[in-house]
């Protein structure tokens, strides 16, 4: 909650045991890590903007478990959260990001020339390609904690900055609270519109406060580069197009991001980033690259193969329905994307998707032809 | 008693005493508690930059909260560190309700009503027909023997019910309470209820611990409450840590029921099938008095003061917090175009039999008192009794093809 430590000092008059949450029914990363000893050690701390341990964990206390995925169960309210509460967040990060240690360094690589291939994923199978990430503006509180004044400042900064983009990146901003019915319908038809979160995972962390104040969508005239302002992060940046030219999507992604970062710097602002955690975002699951590169791809045969899950695991890929994170696949069409975010660079992750999807499509063709794919099983990446 | 006297002079109860006198506890300025960075941020973001956009809003908070009031109150905190932004968050997040003008504001503690009086007093006036907390006093009267004609015709009235809420002084309210405070509320209440005897003897079911069988029984009895889904409540932080320290107590006869830590510290309900509202209210008053006595024995008391009566989370429930109602069949009257006007003049409200946000099915309505503050419990229940009797009279007359009259409106406060 904005401005102040919201009750924290008064809670200290109760013992840690009296305040410690009941996590006996819980199954999320926070619940696995937060012992009563750890709670006792961390509960009197707060970041300089007043974000407390209870603020960090509220979403995980309120949401014991998710049917499909192991949720994180904690959020950051500002950049400092990851420092002040490292005793909790480091093990959560390690658990969530495949053993990433507190001493590990994260590599950032936004040079699309380092990507090999990726321009010719078979469009008979790959319907669309997309890369997304998030960025936070240093010095401001994150969505769970920011005040209306901060959120509006972030919005204004973003509008100003994005207005300077040129060429194929030139575009327009649509504030959620001001858009006309027509604009709204167009954005829905383009699959661009985001709405007030309904997921209790997000609501319980305070991210939906004051909706739709300070929220909006920017996209370029070509509708291939899109920025969400003040949804789950300060900025979510998305590059997408129909078809299988992931290379082009990633190139535009890198160019756009680099340009935006430059424009923010010209105005005296930088993105939250450090050597250890890479780009800092609200949810610990999005640290590092914050990058999800994915395709919508037809895999009706492969997806029914008994080893589908194993194949994906070895390729370090993840499947979702085409509606996004909490949906199931429809008609054999899957959203296939990288499972990792931290500990691999952007180029490395997109490479995994490109190579992995190429393999999956090959497998699909084999199975279509009634042939076996046993000799195509990949090694664990 | 000597023991309660010694408690009275203990530090914890000093605040309790102050609050009990209805004294305006001064709002501490944020600077007393915050760090340098928060201070700097306060200057960087003047109140005008934080003032919510209420142009599309239609609730009592939005009607009352001017930029000037916001600027004055934004940096104040209650002794529990509760802020104005936290009070109004639910009203900012929920612009309007389709059926009713919502309040849009909650208290985090008893002191909220003092520290943010400039806003709350306006909301109270708006919501409670011009009741002015600065100059008026609220009467409390729980003497059920005063009720007359409280036995309804059971050909029409299917059930009778009275509910209110009570808050434990010294502990923060559901929007603000920590887990430990909420557990303390549960402990204080459940300990007290264990002392009830005779027809009030009963049992507590913790929401987190109940068995499947117990849960099903509570559902069948229409006693079980679940995690709030209404954004009006979830945006006010009331559902945090669910179901920790929430539960339901009821007597063995299933006529007296207490909800613990739902929207208020306690919600107290007396109910029966049939039309004996007098007996329902008698049990209500008797039960409430006994519970109050039992918590006082241990050095606790209910939040109450002369200006606002019983203090509850939502300003709409101040005063008596009382909703007395019946499920009543009114097949002819409900179709008469004068029905709404009759209800209005009688200071009654209709709801569907599913509760506050439901529409009526068939001809059976939930009819209850509209008012909460400025009239005593006895006055409100008598109003309900007289009103329902009048409605039944109208129904009977319409059955016989006779004429009915719209009654004169019941007198309200000067606006």
B351-372 pLDDT, tens digit per residue, is 987 666 666 667 899 999 999 9
Mutate to test the interface with B, among A6, A20, A152 (most CBs of B within 10 A): A6
Contact: B37, A48; criterion CB under 8 Å? yes
pLDDT at residue A270, as a whole number: 97
For the range B218-223, what are the long-range contacts, defined as Cβ-Cβ under 8 Å and sequence gap of 24 or more?
A: B218/B248, B221/B250, B221/B254, B223/B248, B223/B250, B223/B254, B223/B257
Indicate the SS3 state at residue A191. Answer: coil
3-state secondary structure chain B: CHHHHHHHCCHHHHHHHHHHCCCCCCCEEHHHCCCHHHHHHHHHCCHHHHCCCCCCCCEHHHHHCCHHHHHHHCCEECCCCCEHHHHHHHHHHCCCCCCCCECCCCCCCCCHHHHCHHHHHHHHHHHCCCCCCCCCCCCCCCCHHHCCCCECCCCCEEEEEEEEEECECCCCCCCCCCHHHHHHHHHHHHHHHCCCCHHHCEEEEECCCCCHHHHHHHHHCCCCCCCCCCHHHHCCCCCCCCCCCCEEEEECCCCEEEEECCCCCEEEEEEEECCEHHHHHHHHHHHHHHHHHHHHCCCCCECEECCCEECCCCHHHCECCCEEEEEEECCCHHHCCCHHHHHHHCCEEEEECCECCCCCCCCEEEEEECCCCCCCHHHHHHHHHHHHHHHHHHHHHHHCCCCCCCCCCCCCCCC
pLDDT at residue B2, as a whole number: 37
Min Cα distance B230 → chain A (Å) is 12
Name the pLDDT band for B12 (thresholds 50, 70, 90).
very low
Least confidently predicted of A175-184, B384-393, B397-406:
A175-184
Min Cα distance A25 → chain B (Å) is 10
Name the pLDDT band for B226 (thresholds 50, 70, 90).
confident
Size of interface A-B (CB pairs under 8 A): 110
Domain ranges of chain B: 47-128, 151-400
The full DSSP string for A365-377 is HHHHTT---GGGP
Annotated binding site of A: 128-132, 191, 236, 292-296, 320-325
Q: Which two tokens stand for residue A350?
A: 């997109």
Contact B67, B48 (CB under 8 A): yes
- Across B45-73, average pLDDT: 96
Name the pLDDT band for B38 (thresholds 50, 70, 90).
low
pLDDT at residue A9, as a whole number: 78
Entry field: residues in chain A: 381
pLDDT at residue A1, as a whole number: 43
**Residue B412 pLDDT more than 80?**
no
CA A349 – CA A337 distance, rounded (Å) = 9
Determine the residue of chain B that is closest to A4 in CA distance.
B34
Mutate to test the interface with A, among B32, B78, B95, B179 (most CBs of A within 10 A): B179
- Using a pLDDT cut of 90, give the percent of chain B over it: 80
> Residue B5: is it exposed, middle or buried by C-beta count within 10 angstroms (0-12/13-18/19+)?
exposed
Indicate the SS3 state at residue A192. Answer: coil
Least confidently predicted of A63-67, A315-319, B195-199, B406-410:
A63-67
pLDDT at residue B357, as a whole number: 63
**Residue A28 pLDDT more than 90?**
yes
pLDDT tens-digit readout, A213-250? 999 999 999 999 999 999 999 999 999 999 999 999 99
Annotated binding site of A for ATP: 128-132, 191, 236, 292-296, 320-325
B151-400 has which fold? Creatine Kinase; Chain A, domain 2 (3.30.590)
Q: Strand B247-251 and strand A216-220: pairing?
A: unpaired
Q: Which two tokens stand for residue B378?
A: 């006895």
Q: Which two tokens stand for residue A215?
A: 């929220």
Q: Which of A148, A249, A298 is nearest to B93 (CA)?
A: A148
Q: Strand B364-369 and strand B348-351: pairing?
A: antiparallel
- Using a pLDDT cut of 90, give the percent of chain A over it: 87
The full DSSP string for A8-73 is HHHHTTS-HHHHS---TT--SHHHHH--HHHHHHHTT-B-TT--BHHHHHHHHHH----SSS----
- Using a pLDDT cut of 70, give the percent of chain B over it: 87
Q: Which two tokens stand for residue A234?
A: 């300060």
- Across A136-162, average pLDDT: 96
pLDDT at residue B399, as a whole number: 96
**Residue A211 pLDDT more than 90?**
yes
**Does the N-terminal peptide bond of residue B380 adopt cis geometry, omega within 30 degrees of 0?**
no
pLDDT tens-digit readout, B73-130? 999 999 999 999 999 999 999 998 767 799 999 999 999 999 999 999 999 999 999 9
Min Cα distance B233 → chain A (Å) is 12
CA A147 – CA A350 distance, rounded (Å) = 35
**Angle of helix B117-127 relative to helix B84-93, nearest 10 degrees?**
40
pLDDT tens-digit readout, B258-304? 999 999 999 999 999 999 999 999 999 999 999 999 999 999 999 99
Q: Which residues of B357-383 are buried (b: 16+ CB within 10 A; e: fewer)?
A: eeebeeebbbbbbbbbbbbbbbbbbbb
Q: Which two tokens stand for residue A238?
A: 């998305």
Residue of A11, A54, A177 with shortest CB distance to B53: A177
Contact B105, B61 (CB under 8 A): yes
For the range B118-125, what are the long-range contacts, defined as Cβ-Cβ under 8 Å and sequence gap of 24 or more?
A: B118/B69, B118/B72, B118/B73, B119/B61, B119/B64, B119/B65, B119/B69, B119/B73, B119/B84, B119/B87, B119/B88, B120/B315, B122/B63, B122/B64, B123/B60, B123/B61, B123/B64, B123/B315, B124/B308, B124/B315, B124/B318, B124/B373
pLDDT at residue B41, as a whole number: 65
**Does the N-terminal peptide bond of residue B243 adopt cis geometry, omega within 30 degrees of 0?**
yes
Name the pLDDT band for B36 (thresholds 50, 70, 90).
low
Give Cα B322 to chain centroid, integer Å. Answer: 7
Min Cα distance A229 → chain B (Å) is 18
**Residue B415 pLDDT more than 50?**
no
Name the pLDDT band for B70 (thresholds 50, 70, 90).
very high
Contacts of B234 in chain A (CB under 8 A): 203
Min Cα distance A96 → chain B (Å) is 23
> Which domains are assigned to chain A?
8-97 (1.10.135.10), 112-369 (3.30.590.10)
Contacts of B180 in chain A (CB under 8 A): 11, 14-15, 18-19
Q: Which two tokens stand for residue B297?
A: 């024995």
- Using a pLDDT cut of 70, give the percent of chain A over it: 97
Residue of B37, B179, B234 with shortest CB distance to A21: B179
Contact A74, A57 (CB under 8 A): yes
Contacts of A54 in chain B (CB under 8 A): 178
Min Cα distance A19 → chain B (Å) is 5
Q: Which two tokens stand for residue A122?
A: 């078979």
**Residue B385 pLDDT more than 80?**
yes
**Residue B190 pLDDT more than 50?**
yes
Q: Which two tokens stand for residue A98?
A: 């495949």
A294 forms beta bridges with A130, A337
B47-128 has which fold? Transferase Creatine Kinase; Chain A, domain 1 (1.10.135)
Contact: A149, B45; criterion CB under 8 Å? yes
Q: Which two tokens stand for residue A345?
A: 């660079």
Q: Look over chain B and give the mean of its residue pLDDT values, rounded to a whole number.
A: 89
pLDDT tens-digit readout, A262-276? 999 999 999 999 999
CA B170 – CA B188 distance, rounded (Å) = 12
**DSSP letter, residue A380:** P
The structure tokens 């917090």 sit at B321
pLDDT at residue B411, as a whole number: 84
- Across A56-62, average pLDDT: 97
Contact: A153, B49; criterion CB under 8 Å? yes
Residue of B30, B178, B208 with shortest CB distance to A3: B30
Listing from the earlier edge strand, what are the strands of the sheet with B323-329?
B202-206, B247-251, B256-260, B266-273, B157-166, B323-329, B364-369, B348-351
Contacts of A31 in chain B (CB under 8 A): none
Determine the residue of chain B that is closest to A1 in CA distance.
B86
Mutate to test the interface with B, among A5, A8, A11 (most CBs of B within 10 A): A11
Contacts of B81 in chain A (CB under 8 A): 4-10
Contact: B240, A147; criterion CB under 8 Å? no
Q: Which residues contact A235 (CB under 8 A, 6 or more apart)?
A: A134, A135, A136, A137, A158, A227, A228, A229, A260
Contact A83, A102 (CB under 8 A): no
pLDDT at residue B355, as a whole number: 62
Name the pLDDT band for B26 (thresholds 50, 70, 90).
very low
Handedness of CA B373, B376, B377, B380 (dihedral sign): negative
Contact B236, B175 (CB under 8 A): yes
A292 forms beta bridges with A132
Q: Which of B297, B283, B290, B16 is nearest to B168 (CA)?
A: B16
Q: End-to-end CA distance of chain B: give it in Å, rounded.
A: 44
Q: Which residues of A345-378 are buried (b: 16+ CB within 10 A; e: fewer)?
A: bbbbbbbbbbbbbbbbbebbbbbeeeeebeeeeb
CA A318 – CA A311 distance, rounded (Å) = 10
Min Cα distance A192 → chain B (Å) is 23
Contact: B85, A8; criterion CB under 8 Å? no
**Residue B1 pLDDT more than 50?**
no
Contact: A54, B208; criterion CB under 8 Å? no
Residue of B37, B49, B51 with shortest CB distance to A49: B37
Calculate Rg over the CA atoms of chain A: 21
Torsion of CA B97, B102, B105, B109, to 10 degrees: -120
- Chain B residues within 8 Å of chain A (Cβ atoms): 30, 33-38, 41-42, 45-46, 49-53, 56, 75, 77, 80-83, 85-86, 89, 92-93, 172, 176, 178-181, 183-184, 208, 234-235, 239-242, 244
């Amino acid at each position: 909650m904005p401005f102040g430590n919201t009750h924290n000092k008064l809670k200290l008059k109760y013992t840690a045991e009296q305040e410690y949450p009941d996590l006996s029914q819980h199954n999320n990363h926070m619940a696995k890590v937060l012992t009563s000893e750890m709670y006792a050690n961390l509960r009197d701390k707060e970041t300089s903007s007043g974000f407390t341990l209870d603020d960090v964990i509220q979403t995980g206390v309120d949401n014991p478990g998710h049917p499909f995925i192991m949720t994180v169960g904690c959020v950051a309210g500002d950049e400092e959260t990851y420092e002040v509460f490292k005793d909790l967040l480091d093990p959560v990060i390690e658990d969530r990001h495949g053993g990433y240690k507190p001493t590990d360094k994260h590599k950032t690589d936004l040079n699309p020339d380092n990507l090999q291939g990726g321009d010719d994923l078979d469009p008979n199978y790959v319907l669309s390609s997309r890369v997304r990430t998030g960025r936070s503006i240093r010095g401001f509180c994150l969505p769970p904690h920011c005040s209306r004044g901060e959120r509006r400042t972030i919005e204004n900064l973003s509008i100003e900055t994005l207005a300077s983009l040129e060429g194929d990146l030139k575009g327009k901003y649509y504030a959620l609270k001001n858009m006309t019915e027509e604009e709204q319908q167009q954005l829905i038809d383009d699959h661009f519109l985001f709405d007030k979160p309904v997921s209790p995972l997000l609501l319980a962390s305070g991210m939906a406060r004051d909706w739709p104040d300070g929220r909006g969508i920017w996209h370029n005239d070509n509708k291939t580069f899109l920025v969400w302002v003040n949804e789950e992060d300060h900025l979510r940046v998305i590059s997408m197009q129909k078809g299988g030219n992931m290379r082009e999507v990633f190139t535009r992604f890198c160019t756009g991001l680099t340009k935006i970062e430059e424009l923010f710097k010209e105005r005296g602002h930088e993105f939250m980033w450090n050597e250890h955690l890479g780009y800092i975002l609200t949810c610990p699951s999005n640290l590092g690259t914050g990058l999800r590169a994915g395709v919508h791809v037809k895999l009706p045969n492969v997806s029914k193969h008994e080893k589908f899950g194993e194949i994906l695991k070895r390729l370090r890929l993840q499947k979702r329905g085409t509606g996004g994170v909490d949906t199931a696949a429809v008609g054999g069409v899957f959203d296939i994307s990288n499972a990792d975010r931290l500990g691999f660079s952007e180029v490395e992750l997109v490479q995994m998707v490109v190579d992995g999807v190429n393999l999956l499509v090959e497998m699909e063709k084999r199975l279509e032809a009634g042939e076996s794919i046993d000799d195509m099983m990949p090694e664990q990446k | 008693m000597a023991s309660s006297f010694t408690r009275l002079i203990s530090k914890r109860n000093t605040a309790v005493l102050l609050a009990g006198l209805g004294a305006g506890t001064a709002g501490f300025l944020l600077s007393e508690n915050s760090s340098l960075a928060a201070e700097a941020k306060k200057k960087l973001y003047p109140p005008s930059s934080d003032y919510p956009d209420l142009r599309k809003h239609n609730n009592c908070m939005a009607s009352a909260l001017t930029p000037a009031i916001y600027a004055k109150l934004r940096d104040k905190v209650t002794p529990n560190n509760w802020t104005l932004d936290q009070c109004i968050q639910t009203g900012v997040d929920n612009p309007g309700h389709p059926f009713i003008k919502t309040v849009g504001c909650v208290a985090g503690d008893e002191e909220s009503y003092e520290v943010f009086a400039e806003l709350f007093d306006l909301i109270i006036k708006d919501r409670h027909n011009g009741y002015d907390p600065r100059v008026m006093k609220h009467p409390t009267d729980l003497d059920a023997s005063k009720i007359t004609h409280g036995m309804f015709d059971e050909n029409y009235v299917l059930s009778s019910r009275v509910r209110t809420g009570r808050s434990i002084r010294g502990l923060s309210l559901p929007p603000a309470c920590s887990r430990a405070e909420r557990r303390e509320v549960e402990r204080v209440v459940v300990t007290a209820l264990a002392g009830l005897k005779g027809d009030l003897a009963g049992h507590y079911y913790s929401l987190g611990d109940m068995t499947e069988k117990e849960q099903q029984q509570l559902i069948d009895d229409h006693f079980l409450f679940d995690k709030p889904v209404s954004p009006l409540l979830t945006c006010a932080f009331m559902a945090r840590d669910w179901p920790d320290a929430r539960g339901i107590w009821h007597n063995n006869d299933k006529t007296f029921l207490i909800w613990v830590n739902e929207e208020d510290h306690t919600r107290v309900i007396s109910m029966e099938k049939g039309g004996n509202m007098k007996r329902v209210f008698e049990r209500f008053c008797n039960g409430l008095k006994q519970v109050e006595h039992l918590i006082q024995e241990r050095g606790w008391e209910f939040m109450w003061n002369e200006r606002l009566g019983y203090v509850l989370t939502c300003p709409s429930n101040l005063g008596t917090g009382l909703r007395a109602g019946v499920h009543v069949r009114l097949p002819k009257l409900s179709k008469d175009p004068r029905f709404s006007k009759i209800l209005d003049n009688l200071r009654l409200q209709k709801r569907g039999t599913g509760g506050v946000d439901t529409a009526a099915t068939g001809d059976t309505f939930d009819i209850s008192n509209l008012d909460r503050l400025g009239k005593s419990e006895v006055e409100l229940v008598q109003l309900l009794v007289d009103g329902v009797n009048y409605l039944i009279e109208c129904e009977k007359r319409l059955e016989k093809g006779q004429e009915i009259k719209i009654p004169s409106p019941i007198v309200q406060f000067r606006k």
